[in-house]
């Protein structure tokens, strides 16, 4: 097996746990790992970041389907709320993919590094909720919130959970476990729309490596999906069996380190 395939499978094992536990799709890990693997594999750095983001979104379609299946079996997916967010996320995902394709790879890497540091900082501040969450009056603007979630998620190749989970808890009043499950469901069409946008944007790009389908690397996609098949169910079980606050803090530190490495590599 190729170096890229083996590295992608290991990445899939880690991202599957994260996807199942936090409803974030795993892209927050997949993108920097793929970027590292692409550099080692000699892929043109001009398009390496776009290729990593597009491939990440394609894998998230599969991992979020697995995560949603597991959470739905435990009654933790609020389909009525998911339908409110989906139209906006579809539009936003397409817009985000077009913006990412138009940016330079260096600028996109720097933005992603800053984004990882921000998400890590938010996770370090995670606290248990002392009372039952209550829906916010702004919840009626869910479709427009979905546009922002879709745009940012597609731009950075993530499943949207880092944005949709807070939106579902703060605006829609969902408890954490239901927010994670519903976020996974919202992330499926988001990632699919973003993937199609990246494939279209990268079609016939002369800098792409052999075998690439637009900004999508099939070998890396296959490796990550195979790895995540084994660990996404584990992440779902952990999400329903343990208090995630301490784990969130540890994961937050990890994200800050990764983001700093991307900024000062």
- Residue 255 Cα distances to 40, 107, 231, 250, 263, angstroms: 21, 19, 20, 9, 12
Q: What is the mean pLDDT of residues 160-170?
A: 74
Alpha carbon distance 21, 177 (integer Å): 9
Most confident of 53-57, 145-149, 155-159, 229-233: 53-57
Tell me how far apart the alpha carbons of residues 3 and 33 are, in angstroms, rounded to a whole number.
Answer: 13
Highest mean pLDDT among 122-126, 167-171, 182-186, 239-243: 182-186
- Residues 206-219 have pLDDT tens digits of 999 989 999 999 99
Count of other CB atoms within 10 angstroms of residue 108:
24
pLDDT at 129: 46
DSSP code of residue 99: H
Euclidean distance between CA atoms 12 and 225, whole angstroms: 6
Does the pLDDT value for residue 165 go beyond 60? yes
Tell me if 98 sits within 8 A of 54, measured CB to CB.
no
Distance CA 100, CA 34 (A): 16
Bin 204: left if φ > 0, else alpha if -120 < ψ < 50, else beta: left
Percent of the chain at pLDDT exceeding 70: 82
Q: pLDDT tens across 52-67, in order?
A: 999 999 998 988 888 8
Question: Tell me, what's the pLDDT at 131?
Answer: 44
The Cα 225–Cα 240 span in angstroms is 23
Backbone angles phi, psi at 8, to 5 degrees: -70, -35
247-264 pLDDT, tens per residue?
A: 567 666 766 877 787 677
Lowest model confidence (mean pLDDT) among 6-20, 34-48, 196-210, 226-240: 226-240
Q: Mean pLDDT in the chain?
A: 81
């Amino acid at each position: 097996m190729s170096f890229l395939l083996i590295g992608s499978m290991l990445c899939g094992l880690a991202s599957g746990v994260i996807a199942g536990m936090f409803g974030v799709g795993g892209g927050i890990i997949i993108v920097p790992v793929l970027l590292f693997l692409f550099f080692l594999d000699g892929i043109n750095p001009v398009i390496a970041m776009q290729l990593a983001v597009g491939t990440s979104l394609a894998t998230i379609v599969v991992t979020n389907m697995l995560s949603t299946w597991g959470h739905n079996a435990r009654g933790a997916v609020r389909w009525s709320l998911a339908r409110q967010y989906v139209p906006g996320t579809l539009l936003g995902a397409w817009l985000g993919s077009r913006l990412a394709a138009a940016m330079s790879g260096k600028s996109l890497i720097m933005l992603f590094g800053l984004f990882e540091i921000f998400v890590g900082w938010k996770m370090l501040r995670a606290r248990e909720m002392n009372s039952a969450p209550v829906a916010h009056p702004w919840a009626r603007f869910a479709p427009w919130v979905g546009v922002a979630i879709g745009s940012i998620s597609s731009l950075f190749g993530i499943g949207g959970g880092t944005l949709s989970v807070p939106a579902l808890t703060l605006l829609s009043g969902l408890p954490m476990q239901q927010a994670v499950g519903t976020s996974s469901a919202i992330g499926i069409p988001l990632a699919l729309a973003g993937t199609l946008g990246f494939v279209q944007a990268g079609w016939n790009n002369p800098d792409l490596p052999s075998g690439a389908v637009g900004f999508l690397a099939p070998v890396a996609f296959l490796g990550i999906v195979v790895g995540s098949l084994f660990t996404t169910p584990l992440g779902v079980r952990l999400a329903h069996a343990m208090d995630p606050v301490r784990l969130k803090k540890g994961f937050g530190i990890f994200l800050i380190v990764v983001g700093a490495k991307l900024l000062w590599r």
